[in-house]
Amino acid sequence: MRERLNELLVEVESFTAKKPEQVEEFRIKMLGSKGVLKELFADFKNVPNEHKKEVGQLINQVKEQAQLKIDEFKALFENIITVDNTIDLTKPGFPTTVGSRHPISLVKNEIIEIFSRIGFTVSEGPEIEDDWHNFSALNFPPEHPARDMQDTFFVESESGEMALRTHTSSVQVRIMENTKPPIRTLSPGRVYRNEAISARAHCFFHQIEGLYIAENVSFADLKQTLLYFAKEMFGEQTEIRLRPSYFPFTEPSAEVDVSCSVCGGKGCNVCKYSGFLEILGCGMVDPNVLENCGIDSKKYSGFAFGMGVERIAMLKYKINDLRLFSEGDVRFLSQFKAAQ
């Protein structure tokens, strides 16, 4: 009997099946009501007492092993059963389309990353603003002609007339009102202007404005900060040029150009043969603005700058129509990938 059981153990261990029917056949043969094990259990009473323990253990071992084999092959066939065997399982899967970031987000994140390396934080504020934060605190008194620089969408509300913010300088006012200097922050966000939509203008776009307020901040600090930014954004060979300008909230004010990254400053149709491209406005924060926000203008000074994210993205990716950014055309949007 022991020999028979050892043979059975070998048979069970070497069992394999190619089809589910073979597993069923094996089950009936081993564990079925007229199966081998039934027979062995029946013979068990004839085993001499001194061998009963050993033989009993062997029978149980054969039974357990047989059950394990059956379970193993059943599981195997159950998994495969749903798969049509004409399918080539080694073929690559169906491609899954993965979304990509919007070019405006990519450029915005890159700008934030560049300034965060020199200590700038990020601040956000509301898109529907009151007159104080969008205009008055920034030195645009009522009826001041400078208000016409930014054609405004006004919104009627219960709390009086509100406006869709025309720039994110409004966020900087909020920060100055609530924070003790030193302040070093960027305010990115969407802004609105009542302009006819064309390849070069839109009724909404995105800005990133920067503000630095501390003791003894000078125009030289502003220039170095912007030069650092231009080189990081457009390449080490980039040069900047400042032209005097006017903003009600900065004095002195300047507009900043970078050397054209397409022709390297030699002149081409992108820079209209000037060698330079305008990228942002900047200046030293007007002492009136500091005082309006509760900051002592005798102790503190600061600079501010503001740029359009679309403008930077157009230069970086050589895009010639502003409308593409808001049309949501996947053929356009899927071309942009984050820098590795």
Residue 141 CA: distances (Å) to CA of 8, 134, 156, 177: 101, 11, 20, 18
Q: Which is nearer to ligand PHE, 63 or 184 (CB)?
A: 184
Point out which residues bind ligand PHE (CB under 6 A): 167, 169, 209, 247, 250, 253, 281-283, 304-306
- Which residue is at the shortest CB distance from ligand PHE? 306
Q: Which is nearer to ligand PHE, 65 or 179 (CB)?
A: 179
Q: Which is nearer to ligand PHE, 181 or 283 (CB)?
A: 283
Q: Which is nearer to ligand PHE, 103 or 306 (CB)?
A: 306
Q: Which is nearer to ligand PHE, 181 or 281 (CB)?
A: 281
What is the smallest separation between the CB atom of 287 and ligand PHE, expressed in angstroms?
15
Instruction: List, in sequence order, every residue forming a beta bridge with 197; answer none if it has no partner.
Output: none
What is the smallest separation between the CB atom of 322 and ligand PHE, expressed in angstroms?
16
Residue 156 CA: distances (Å) to CA of 162, 164, 184: 6, 11, 34
φ, ψ for residue 10 (rounded to 5)?
A: -65, -45
Put the strands of the sheet holding 240-247 in their side by side order.
Answer: 121-122, 183-192, 204-214, 301-308, 276-285, 250-259, 240-247
What is the smallest separation between the CB atom of 250 and ligand PHE, expressed in angstroms?
5
What is the smallest separation between the CB atom of 336 and ligand PHE, expressed in angstroms?
25
Instruction: List, in sequence order, every residue forming a beta bridge with 278; answer none if it has no partner.
Output: 257
Q: How many CB atoms lie within 10 A of CB 88?
A: 6
Which of 103, 132, 168, 140 lies closest to 319 in space, CA to CA? 103
What is the smallest separation between the CB atom of 283 and ligand PHE, expressed in angstroms?
5
Peptide bond into 244 cis (omega under 30): no
